[in-house]
Amino acid sequence: MDNRIRVKSITDDVTLGKNDSGSLFVLKSADGLTVTLPTGGRGLFYDFVVGTSVTAPDKYEIKTQTADKIRGVLVNSRDDTASKSFVATSSDEIDMDGSTTGGLIGTGFRLVCDNDGVWNVFGLNGSSGSEATPFA
């Protein structure tokens, strides 16, 4: 038996459930979409990759619940170009616009929730142009 993870394609706005923890979500909408995380809980984790690059001015948005925050680092990765990292210490969202703030094919990151309701993020964020923070 193979050890596969659950894969779910997202093509429209969605709120994730705790029972989705451990899944790989493939973002697939050039017109953008919003993913709302569940209320933070210790050990919840979600992986995201971009299957379809979002087209500016639309965005891929990953949002927390009001009381929760995002911390961590995303490396905005441009093809054949020096990378630039962005650090979040208390953000509410990851916003990727299909260019400077990422959201292109190549993007892959994980969000893991700790004891304090903080979502810790790490990974790579496919971007273009003059990189800007995806954290808001």
Task: Catalog residues that contact another protein under the rule CB under 8 A.
Answer: 1-7, 9, 24, 26, 47, 49, 51, 75, 77-83, 104-109, 123-126
Closest CA to 112 of 40, 48, 19, 45: 45
Cβ at position 20, least distance to another protein in Å: 14
Rank residues 76 and 91 by Cβ distance to another protein and give the closer one. Answer: 76
Taking the complex as a whole, the smallest distance from the CB of residue 55 to another protein amounts, in Å, to: 16
Please, which residue, 64 or 127, has the CB nearer to another protein? 127
Between 66 and 79, name the residue whose CB sits nearer to another protein: 79
Query: Taking the complex as a whole, how short is the minimal distance between the CB of residue 66 and another protein, in angstroms?
Result: 30
**Measured from the CB of residue 9, what is the shortest distance to another protein in angstroms?**
7
What gap in Å lies between CA 24 and CA 134, rounded to an integer?
Answer: 20
Q: Are 63 and 93 in contact (CB under 8 A)?
A: yes
Q: What is the dihedral of CA 76, 54, 60, 129, to 10 degrees?
A: 30
Count of other CB atoms within 10 angstroms of residue 82 = 7
